[in-house]
Structure 1
Amino acid sequence: MALTWHEHLGRNVPDYRLVKAKVDDALRQNYVSNPPVPVRDMAINYGVDVFFGDFGDAGKTVSGFLDLQDNCIFVNKDESPARQNFTIAHELGHFLLHADLLRNHPNQYSVLYRAPIGAAKDPLEQEANAFAAHILVPRSFLDRYYKIASRQELARLFNVSEDVIGYRMAYEYKSAA
């Protein structure tokens, strides 16, 4: 009998400690100290090219995908810059967290469908979403501004959606959400 995807992982829940460690490493390795985080430049620094394209009819539901064979992230050109940033960060998360696993099991990976940040059920998708949110809105950066700026102002400062700001604030400051 074949192993399930989660048995290959050795777990069926996301490893958020691993995610935070990878985020901290990536921010440090790329000398990021202020918002907005240059996630496209970071991807390129890791040898991952980023391309913006027309996804045709699929563009109504697809935000992007990672091509591990060619180390490329493809991003829907018709989405907002904030959504594009999240897509790049999400796919970079897959690259940094899951590349070896995904290369060994290419049929297990799917494109990033547009959905609310907390909607993913798959542990790999949950990890990639958490990676994206944490790398785009690091706790140390959020600490500097969340008491003096509105969600809308924070979203502009970090170049993310207000939903991502809400997600990060709810995670970091339970009573501030």
Structure 2
Amino acid sequence: MASTHISHDDDMPTEVLEDALGVELGGRIRRAREERGLSQGALGDAVGYKTSMVSALENGTRRLKIEDLAKLCVALDKEPEYFLRTEAIRAARPRPVGLTLRAQLVELHHQPLADAITSFLDDAESRSVPDSDIPDLHYLKPHGAARELLDRCGIHQPPVKLKDIARTLRVPIKTWDFPDSLSALIVEVDDDNYVIGVNQHHARNRQRFSLAHELGHAVLRHEAGYYLEFFDAALGEPPNFRYADEREANAFAAALLMDERWLRADWANGERSVANLARRYQVSEEAMSFRLMNIGLA
């Protein structure tokens, strides 16, 4: 998953921790290189480094930087977690929030977007992120997970107050100055602890759906560690895009914001106007139309 806040052993000197970290990371680089059948020189050619630099990375005398990590992941066909899930890292000082995401931002090929995400991660890192209290509902289908969450939070009528849910779950939410192509993102800060960013420029109803979507990734325990709700045909899919996870998160968001039980009750009471229902549930008319069709009411 994405970046991890790690407890620091105050009894162990920082230089010892850093030495152990360099040695363990270097060993993983060496093993990955050997698995690919590459010499140090061949790996150096692939990433644009001299053989001596590759050697320094492998023996731990050169500190691994984010740009090094990004290049090595591509050249060695490894996910960032291969290098970062190490015993030394678990004992080291807290790493930057979203380290995996930071390493993969190079794949965006959109500097304003990369800069906005980086500034969001920097801001999250500067604050104390609480331990989240998110139920693990991965065993339920998205609509079942949404219903269970509503019931656990004691929410029985629209509109769903998403910020109250997030506060109950102890998930920080920050509206942010993202480019229009990014609606929202969620980053796992530590095991099952999350932070969410929502585009401050988007319409309120769109922000609500985006927030519900990101909560769906957390409640359903999707494994990628970070997700970008990203729309830009010119740039293609964002890094880490998983169609099945996005589809489930969308289904969760629709069920959370427009609970089938409530809609059927409203329908039975004679409220059949899409516009009126959309206002009552604080969603777009398009989202309400799709939801009514999906549950067989339109």
Q: How does 1:22-101 map to 2 (within 5 A)?
A: 22-55=145-178, 59-69=179-189, 71-99=194-222, 101=223
**Partner letter of residue 185 of structure 2?**
F
Which portions of structure 1, spanning 4 or more consecutive aligned residues, are displaced by more than 3 angstroms?
A: none
The answer as to 2:244 corresponding to 1:123 is yes
Give the residue type in structure 1 aligned to 2:273.
S
C-alpha distance in 2, partners of 1:131/1:97?
9
Specify every segment of 5 or more residues in structure 2 that has no aligned partner in the other structure, as ranges: 1-76, 78-137, 233-240
Which structure has the greater CA radius of gyration? 2
| Kept after mapping to 1: 8 A contact 2:186/2:194 | yes
**5+ residue gaps, structure 1:** 3-14
Deviation at 1:144, TM superposition (A): 2.3
Q: What TM-score results when the alignment is normalised by the length of structure 2?
A: 0.47
Give the length in aligned residue pairs: 151
Q: 1:121 Cα deviation (Å)? A: 7.6
Matches within 5 A, 1:110-149: 110-114=227-231, 122-146=243-267, 147-149=270-272
Tell me, yes or no, if the aligned pair for 1:16 and 1:130 is still in contact at 8 Å: no
Q: 1:78 to 1:63 in 2, by over 3 A?
A: same
Which digits, 9 at most, give the CA deviation of each residue in 1:128-172, with x for residues without a partner?
A: 000000000000111122442411111111011111101111111
Sequence identity percentage: 30
The answer to whether the Cα contact below 8 Å between 2:205 and 2:283 also exists between their aligned partners in 1 is yes
Give yes or no for contact 1:65–1:91 (8 Å, CA) kept in 2. Answer: yes
Q: 1:61–1:97: structure 2 CA closer, same or farther, 3 Å change rule?
A: same
Deviations 1:43-81 (A, max 9, x none): 2211211110111xxx22110000211621100011111
After superposition, the Cα gap between the structure-2 partners of 1:44 and 1:132, relative to the gap in structure 1 and judged at 3 Å, is same
Cα separation, 2, equivalents of 1:149 and 1:114 = 32
- Once residues 164 and 16 of structure 1 are traced to their aligned partners in structure 2, the CA distance between those partners, rounded to angstroms, is 26
Quote the RMSD (CA, aligned, Å): 2.6
Answer 1 or 2: higher relative contact order, Cα 8 Å, separation at least 6: 1
Q: Flag the 1:16–1:78 CA change in 2: closer, same or farther, 3 A.
A: farther
Q: Could you tell me the TM-score, scaled by structure 1's length? A: 0.76
